[in-house]
Structure 1
């Protein structure tokens, strides 16, 4: 890169900042994007021969940098929105835990005792499967199978007893068993 090229960019630094600030709305952000653009384009400056062309070329670089920044910000916003929605879903799922119909509580008593205990500890008490395995004196794999089979047995019992409401998650059940 020639001295004249570097001098042209330095002379227009304030104009570049103003250009970026108008598009980004923040002086600090404009400074960051400008520095980033300088760093990314320093190797390519040698290809531009004329002093007047370097300024126009660098404005194109800055326009692209603004577009890249806005895309990254939009992507980050979408990611944050998705995370917020997921957290809200988890929170509302936790809120419905207490609203599950009485059928589930009643029918869980009809399960084999080890299934009922597995569901109580893992689903209600929130104990990790590996911790439940330790408590029960069984392997983690065995505990996982037990919890799976207990859920399946309870699901089948609820479907037999409650019918249609079970397909909707059996929340605020109005069936006769509740």
Structure 2
């Protein structure tokens, strides 16, 4: 029975693969889902009572596998997204040594709420969720405020430090160093 099931399913391979490809963005992922589903079908084939229902039964296996892919993507996105933002913003120890410290003197010249955000989030590395809760705002609102605070600081740096600020403020030649 197993050999018959496999050969019947393989006769429809292109049609089955096309079905999966329409539902998944990656052709490689579609191929993997089809292969895994074929393995599941092979294992469960002895329990199949009516061979005429083979294709509808296999489509159910494929649909479940596709749903599982989307569930995994959702979970990965939900749990890994916060870390990807932090990774992009990470400063290497070498950059930190060369970083211009002019910005520290400019923080008090910003709006008080901007200075407090930069101190809390960027310098003290406090948890954004806790900072947002403390301010009584949403996390999205905090992100907007943080962006505006950084933008204001950048503008102050460009006014004060000129060329070094536009190039990342590395190897600063300002008198404030």
TM-score normalised to structure 1 length:
0.48
- Larger radius of gyration, structure 1 or 2? 1
